Structure 1
């Protein structure tokens, strides 16, 4: 089944398309979660994270807007974010600050600003051509090594490094055009 058919099927509530989504992308999500967590999660936690991602997609079926060719990146980003959130929550349980000043309070405004920044970064990232976009996502979202990216994409290691360098410059320009300033 093609990606476009899966997306349209899920949007219309087709369980067969949903099952196809799980079959086609389940192993990929496991790899993303293992990479992001550096192998620090148990098998049951990995399975739960995968299930959480697929459930979230199903719950958003009516409002799901994924362009053709971007489903894998969308799922990978969701898996990455769910994994980071789980790792943070585990860290918060293990390390309780001793002083009130060391607690980092996040306001609703902070959350909204962060969400807006994330949307701007994603929009800027989508301006990169392929394979530059995939290289950038693999390196900075999935924390893959440059040598591994080069091997997977059948590119020279120096080429991957150059594309990352140039991609950062392009993203910097695109973000500045959108009003995002950073240090």
Structure 2
């Protein structure tokens, strides 16, 4: 049986090793690029290749969790790869620095910084979620999945320039909202 994008998920669920080989051939470059962007500055080429392999192994093992109604197999794979790469990055940083990245805060100031950082991250995610479509989808594809402008343009039916303009406006809106949040924090701190 020939493997295609249409039957890839079902063939993987049927444990067809040829489907896994197909997935690696078709999506390997996407996964490698994503992993490289996350751990390239820290890890070696071998670390990146090992992480890419682990992402495909995880997809093979967890294929039963894939739900076509929630998105494409490619998106699911890239999400798995992203989290795998973030785990690798954390481990590589721990190994390189000799101290865990998520060490316990040593003072009240450190604890406040950690809490504020987490709150700020949650605020940023909420702001991105508030973007109208297709701006939200474009922003996520570009800055979370590291997709090229050309791919985003092709998927959305927009020109590359239109995608660039939407990303520019989204970044501006995010900056403005973050500035407003910082002003609110400053105001709250003075009260």
What interval of TM-score do these two structures reach, taking the shorter chain for normalisation? Answer: 0.5 to 0.7
**Aligned position for 2:80:** 78
2:161 corresponds to 1:155: yes
**Aligned position for 1:54:** 56
**Aligned position for 2:137:** 133
Secondary structure, counterpart of 2:15 in structure 1: coil
Structure 1, 12-21 or 60-69: larger mean CA deviation: 60-69
Alpha-carbon deviation of 1:9?
Answer: 0.7
Report the number of matched residues.
Answer: 143
**Aligned position for 1:22:** 24
Larger gyration radius, structure 1 or structure 2: 2
Alpha-carbon deviation of 1:17?
Answer: 1.4
Maintained 8 Å contact 1:33/1:79:
yes
**Aligned position for 2:178:** none
Aligned alpha-carbon RMSD (Å):
3.6
Any runs of at least 4 consecutive aligned residues in structure 1 with deviations exceeding 6 A, and if so which?
A: none
2:10 corresponds to 1:4: no
Maintained 8 Å contact 2:38/2:85:
yes
Maintained 8 Å contact 2:39/2:48:
no
**Cα gap change, 1:89 to 1:24, in 2 (>3 Å):** same
TM-score for the superposition, normalised by structure 1: 0.61
TM-score for the superposition, normalised by structure 2: 0.59
Alpha-carbon deviation of 1:92?
Answer: 2.0
Matches within 5 A, 1:80-99: 80-93=82-95, 94-96=97-99
**Cα gap change, 1:50 to 1:151, in 2 (>3 Å):** closer
5+ long unaligned stretches in structure 2: 107-124, 154-159, 175-191
| Structure with more helix by fraction | 2
Alpha-carbon deviation of 1:28?
Answer: 0.8
Alignment deviations for residues 61-120 of structure 1 (CA, whole Å, 9 cap, x no partner) = 3333244852222111211111111111122232427xx8537xxxxxxxxxxxxxxxxx
